[in-house]
């Protein structure tokens, strides 16, 4: 099993990897299918109109997660990792005014978002809650092409056929690459580490270097951390009301200023480490909630945990260097890949245990690594962090990635550091294996009501409004 570090950590935009980045990517994939796909092309037929229909969770919380905007931008030819956040609003307004899109390399297509962008809450597509369908019509309004896509978490998008293959195999289908350490679960990971004498980070590096040079890998890792660091800095320096209608005010800057003041005045604060962890995580997720540039880690809804713990490490430990940052990210990605392969990182599939829970496990593993942990201690740290997120629902109020998501990232970061600390004080032997914890998360997700999986139909999403 191989899942690249750059699959787990993707640079994109907020507020949601599955509801924003995924649909934008899917729309772009449909454009590629129109131009280069192997589909029957009737003689003299010409595509003149496009239509997009969002189903399931995408329909229920699509407006709050800016899914509608993401689809429009995707049909304009934009991608999450390259779009300039500052041009998005203007591009969407142009489409609404012109009632058409004209992506590069295509003719103009009629597309009126008020008519051609449908939120279908009544007809879920089988297989996954985050389903969407794109259609292309000719001048006589005859359907020429229809494709379904599913946003399966973390910005990953699969076609209907790919999802069926995934379901048939019972787990995620990852890229088949011949790598020296192809561990598909934590037990295999530990066995390979024992036999090779390598760290988890070194095994992950060896796998990645089958696809790219060491220089290219390090450049990519540095770019990921640079984007994370920049996101933290933007979040720490901005205030105001976040979009969406809840009127939730940004708090990271105010908390940051208070911590800086306490630091300068040498005020004793027994909770200092927790406070810094919280403010770093909240800074990222306030940026995400505002549609800014973030890194999926492994999702947008959980984007604050890994950067917060890595920044905490750089803040509070003296002997840090670029190698430590890279090893942190490689180890985190190794754990995230195992979780995604054997369960899910999608809130629409398993609830927030799959998002913040997975992120906390990844961050705990990364921290244990740079603190000198053995592979067994690293696996233990990941297990502790994930175990204490089991059963966590995804219930965003008003479908916005704000309440309880922003604070939940802060607590996920605190749990990650606590888990790493507990693991480092042991010898790596523990009662519950990480693999058993991952399988428990998968089973719990299957048993969980759809109301608690990103649809905003249960939990805080309904009770806060009722109050």
Instruction: Indicate the pTM of the whole model.
Output: 0.90
Question: For residue 269, what pLDDT is reported?
Answer: 85
Domain limit, last residue, from 169, 200, 228: 169
Closest CA relative to residue 298, chosen from 237, 349, 340: 340
In a domain, 407, yes or no: yes
Question: For residue 171, what pLDDT is reported?
Answer: 53
Question: For residue 428, what pLDDT is reported?
Answer: 96
In a domain, 5, yes or no: no
Q: Based on the domain organization, do 154 and 251 belong to the same domain?
A: no
Q: How many domains does the chain have?
A: 2
Q: 């590096």: which residue's tokens? A: 205
Q: How far is CA 377 from CA 111, 370, 412, in A?
A: 54, 12, 19
In a domain, 375, yes or no: yes
Residue numbers in the chain where pLDDT is lower than 50: 172, 466-467
Q: Based on the domain organization, do 135 and 206 belong to the same domain?
A: no
Domain at 344, CATH number: 1.10.4100
Q: Based on the domain organization, do 32 and 70 belong to the same domain?
A: yes
Question: For residue 175, what pLDDT is reported?
Answer: 53
Question: For residue 47, what pLDDT is reported?
Answer: 97
Question: For residue 63, what pLDDT is reported?
Answer: 85
Q: 């809130």: which residue's tokens? A: 347
Helix or strand or coil: residue 394? strand
Q: Based on the domain organization, do 151 and 220 belong to the same domain?
A: no
Q: Based on the domain organization, do 163 and 203 belong to the same domain?
A: no
Supply the range of the domain harboring residue 74. Answer: 16-169
Q: What is the pLDDT of residues 307-333, one digit of tens each?
A: 999 999 999 999 899 999 999 999 999
Q: Based on the domain organization, do 448 and 342 belong to the same domain?
A: yes
Question: For residue 466, what pLDDT is reported?
Answer: 46
d(CA 298, CA 218): 19
């Amino acid at each position: 099993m191989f899942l690249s570090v750059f699959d787990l950590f993707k640079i994109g935009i907020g507020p949601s990897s599955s509801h924003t980045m995924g649909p934008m990517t899917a729309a772009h994939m449909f454009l590629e299918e129109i131009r280069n796909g192997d589909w029957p092309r009737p003689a003299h037929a010409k595509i003149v109109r496009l239509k997009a229909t969002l189903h399931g969770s995408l329909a229920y919380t699509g407006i709050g997660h800016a899914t509608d905007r993401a689809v429009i931008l995707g049909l304009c030819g934009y991608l999450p990792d390259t779009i300039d956040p500052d041009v998005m609003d203007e591009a969407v307004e142009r489409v609404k005014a012109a009632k058409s899109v004209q992506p590069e390399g295509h003719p103009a297509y009629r597309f009126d978002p008020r008519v051609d962008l449908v939120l279908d809450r009544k007809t879920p597509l089988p297989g996954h809650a985050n389903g969407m369908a794109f259609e292309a019509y000719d001048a006589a309004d005859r359907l020429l092409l229809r494709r379904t896509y599913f946003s399966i978490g973390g910005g990953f998008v699969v076609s209907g056929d790919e999802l069926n293959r995934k379901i048939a195999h019972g787990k995620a289908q990852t890229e088949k690459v011949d790598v020296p350490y192809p561990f598909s679960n934590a037990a295999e990971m530990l066995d390979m580490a024992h036999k090779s004498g390598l760290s988890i980070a070194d095994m992950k590096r060896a796998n990645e270097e089958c696809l790219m040079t060491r220089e290219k890998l390090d450049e990519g890792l540095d770019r990921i951390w640079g984007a994370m660091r920049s996101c933290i800095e933007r979040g720490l320096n901005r205030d105001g009301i976040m979009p969406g209608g809840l009127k939730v005010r940004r708090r990271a800057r105010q908390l940051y200023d208070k911590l800086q003041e306490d630091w300068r005045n040498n005020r004793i604060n027994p909770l200092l480490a927790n406070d810094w962890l919280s403010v770093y995580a909240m800074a990222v997720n306030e940026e995400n909630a505002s549609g800014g540039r973030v890194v999926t880690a492994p999702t947008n809804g959980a984007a604050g945990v890994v950067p917060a713990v890595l920044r905490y490490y750089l803040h509070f430990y003296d002997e840090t260097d670029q190698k430590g940052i890279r090893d942190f990210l490689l180890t985190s990605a190794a754990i995230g890949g195992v979780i995604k392969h054997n369960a899910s990182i999608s809130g629409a599939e398993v609830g927030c245990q799959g998002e913040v829970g997975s992120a906390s496990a990844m961050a705990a593993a990364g921290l244990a690594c740079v603190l000198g942990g053995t592979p067994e201690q690293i696996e233990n740290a990941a297990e502790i962090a994930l175990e204490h997120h089991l059963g966590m629902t995804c219930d965003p109020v008003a479908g916005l990635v704000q309440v309880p998501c922003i604070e939940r990232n802060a607590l996920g970061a605190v749990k990650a550091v606590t888990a790493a600390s507990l693991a480092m004080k042991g010898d790596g032997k523990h009662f519950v294996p990480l693999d058993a914890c991952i399988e428990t998360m998968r089973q719990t997700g299957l048993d969980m009501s759809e109301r608690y999986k990103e649809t905003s139909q249960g939990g805080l999403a309904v009770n806060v409004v009722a109050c």
